[in-house]
Chain A
Amino acid sequence: GQNIDQPTEMTATEGAIVQINCTYQTSGFNGLFWYQQHAGEAPTFLSYNVLDGLEEKGRFSSFLSRSKGYSYLLLKELQMKDSASYLCAVQTDSWGKLQFGAGTQVVVTP
Chain B
Amino acid sequence: GAVVSQHPSWVICKSGTSVKIECRSLDFQATTMFWYRQFPKQSLMLMATSNEGSKATYEQGVEKDKFLINHASLTLSTLTVTSAHPEDSSFYICSARDQAGNPYEQYFGPGTRLTVT
Contact = CB atoms under 8 A, between A and B. Distances in A.
**Do chains A and B interact in one complex?**
yes
B43 A100 contact: yes
A45 B46 contact: no
| Residue in A40, A42, A44, A95 whose Cβ sees the most chain B Cβ within 10 Å | A42
Interface string B37-71: 00000111110010000000000000000000000
Nearest to A89: B44
B41 to A, nearest CB: 9
Interface residues of A, number: 23
B93 interface: yes
A96 interface: yes
A43 B34 contact: no
Interface stretch (B13-21, B77-85, B104-112): B104-112
A96 B43 contact: no
Interface size class of B (residues with CB under 8 A): 20 to 34
Contacts of A99: 46
Contacts of A30: 104
A95 B49 contact: yes
Contacts of A96: 32, 34, 97, 104, 106
A42 B34 contact: no
A63 B93 CA distance: 27
Contact of A42 (B42, B43, B49, B110): B110
A97 B108 contact: no
Contacts of A100: 43-46
Given A42-B93, A98-B106, A100-B46, 7 more contacts: A40-B113, A41-B110, A42-B108, A43-B108, A45-B106, A48-B105, A98-B34
Q: Which 9 A-B pairs have the closest CB atoms?
A: A42-B108, A100-B43, A102-B43, A100-B44, A42-B111, A103-B43, A96-B97, A42-B110, A43-B108
Interface of A: 30-31, 33, 40-45, 48, 50, 87, 89, 91, 95-103
